[in-house]
A and B are shown apart, each in its own frame.
Chain A
Amino acid sequence: MILNLIAPLGTTEGLGIWIAAFLTLCIFSFLYKDNPFYKFAEHLFVGVSSGYYISIYYWNTLKPNMIDELVKGFKALGQGNTQKAFGLDESGAVMAEPHLRMLIPLMLGIFILLIFISRKNAWLSRISFAWYIGVASGIAIPTAMSTRVLLQAQGSIRDFCSYNSDCATSAGLDPQVATTALWINAFLLLIGTLSALAYFFFSLPSKGALKVMNKVGIYFLMISFGASFGYTVMARISLLIGRLQFLFYEWLGITIS
């Protein structure tokens, strides 16, 4: 083990390492208890990240999508080109650039701000929220149905083809991989899926066969949670190792040779 010089404070890089190491230790101090160092790092982290995101939103979203479009739209309006101002071409077709059509989202945004500005008119914010939730649900629900239900169902059924080589080939499975072991795996997967799904029947009383299935379902769920827990803990430990490596190697300059 060789102990080199601690990162030099005189250089920009060295100063950065010292600040990072200090803040890392401040956050780690929470393991003991809440203290002024942790409070300092916490507030700094929240403040810096908020400022960073405000800047990101302004330059990446608000300016190009809203301000620039409105400026272009009002310029076109000033030149007497009403169609272009509202993002329509000469034939009246909708162009990709919305220009003054952005007044609608601007208005919806102002409605939300009314909550903080005018309690009397705050009810208008509900229009914005209704729009947002409606559009968001419209996008999220079909996507969830496709990825979480249909594709999962497909994946659960597909491996049963491995029992039959013709079926396996036509289902896109590699016949070399399509073995009896795969079929047994598919069978276990089916039992697990059906029993876990049965656990989430809320309107049926847990009696008789359903009770047995619920119990099997819970066992399957807990086994999968256990496996997931172990896997994720390993990943978290690697994050801790990364931070310790930074402290020992980059800050303290300790290297193992």
Chain B
Amino acid sequence: MIFNFLNLMFQIQIKEGTGPVFFVLVLFVAALFFFLDKARKGATFKIRKIAGLDAVNEAIGRATEMGKSILYTTGLETASHIATIASLTILSRVAKRAARYGTRLQVPSFDPIVMSLSQEIVRESYLEEGMVDSFKGDDIFYLTQEQFAYTAAVEGVLVREKPATVFLMGYFYAESLLLAETGNSIGAIQIAGTDAVTQLPFFIVSCDYTLIGEELYAASAYLSEDSNIISSLKAQDFGKALLWIFLLLGSIVTFAGSTKFLSLLGAST
């Protein structure tokens, strides 16, 4: 019966390409509401340590102690990219800390919309910390949408301003190593995070901490330390656990010679 129900849901995908996605999203949203409800009723969720995120406060503190600035880049994608959205939520947390400690925060932007969003987010963070007078809109600035011109300009900022802390969070392309190496050469503590699989190795070798894929998405909830927000992380884990079970069962069933799971995913059978 369960197979028939799943098959019915997944059949829609074969015809219209949306069935499985819709089904998975419904499950995920249901899990999200379930865990959110639990959090509101007072449940607390524990999260394992993520070294890169634990280092965020330490990195901001280092810049404060050294009297130097923090440089934060949201990557080379537009605001419609998931990694950019995740990066903007982390920017909010970083800006709050920077405002609290009175540390200068510079955000060179690749995309004009992302720049406007960053400005609003940072301003809001300063406002929440009661430091809106210290907010400098000019520190969140647009450079260009040409990949290597942007890279050259950020490298220029790095070597001239010599920030103590560099955050490279978002989606990156071939410029990842250039940025991270320059940050490394000026002795900055660097925390990178991206879901660009091809760029992760470069960040791993040249940055102090690297958030790998999902860790970037989890960062906002992790840094918030708020049960309501952490409940979203619990829902994500629920989704991953389902996928884990699905993959294991699917492999066993397929190995036994059945194509049922492949059919569910819309493979040619």
Contact = CB atoms under 8 A, between A and B. Distances in A.
Nearest to A201: B237
Interface stretch (A45-53, A72-80, A98-106): A45-53
Contacts, number: 204
A229 B262 contact: no
A21 interface: no
A141 B259 contact: no
A49 to B, nearest CB: 3
Give chain B's interface secondary structure class.
helix
Interface residues of B, number: 76
Interface stretch (B66-74, B94-102, B212-220): B212-220
> Which of A164, A193, A202 has most B Cβ within 10 Å?
A202
Interface in A146-191: 146, 149-151, 153-154, 156-158, 160-161, 163-164, 166-167, 170-172, 183, 186, 190
Interface stretch (A6-14, A61-69, A89-97, A125-133): A125-133
Contacts of B30: none
A154 B265 contact: yes
A140 B82 CA distance: 7
B149 A46 contact: yes
B89 to A, nearest CB: 11
B8 interface: no
A150 B20 contact: yes
A208 interface: no
Contacts of B145: 49-50, 53
B268 interface: yes
A223 B148 CA distance: 29
A145 B258 CA distance: 25
> Which of B218, B233, B244 has most A Cβ within 10 Å?
B244
Contacts of A194: 244, 247-248
Contact of A153 (B48, B79, B160, B265): B265
Contacts of A186: 251
A49 B146 contact: yes
B100 to A, nearest CB: 23
Given A161-B259, A228-B198, A228-B201, A141 B152 contact: no
Contacts of B241: 201
A59 interface: no
A200 B236 CA distance: 10
B51 to A, nearest CB: 12
A5 B114 CA distance: 48
The 5 closest A-B pairs by CB, nearest first: A136-B80, A49-B146, A229-B201, A172-B268, A225-B201
11 contacts: A49-B144, A112-B116, A140-B80, A144-B82, A194-B244, A197-B247, A202-B47, A225-B200, A226-B201, A228-B197, A232-B202
Interface of A: 27, 30, 33-34, 38-39, 41-42, 45-46, 48-50, 52-53, 112, 115, 122, 125-126, 129, 132-133, 135-137, 139-142, 144-146, 149-151, 153-154, 156-158, 160-161, 163-164, 166-167, 170-172, 183, 186, 190, 193-194, 197-198, 200-206, 221, 224-226, 228-229, 232, 236
Given A164-B255, A190-B247, A204-B48, 16 more contacts: A30-B155, A34-B160, A50-B149, A53-B144, A125-B120, A144-B82, A146-B17, A158-B262, A172-B267, A200-B214, A201-B237, A202-B50, A202-B236, A225-B201, A229-B202, A232-B198
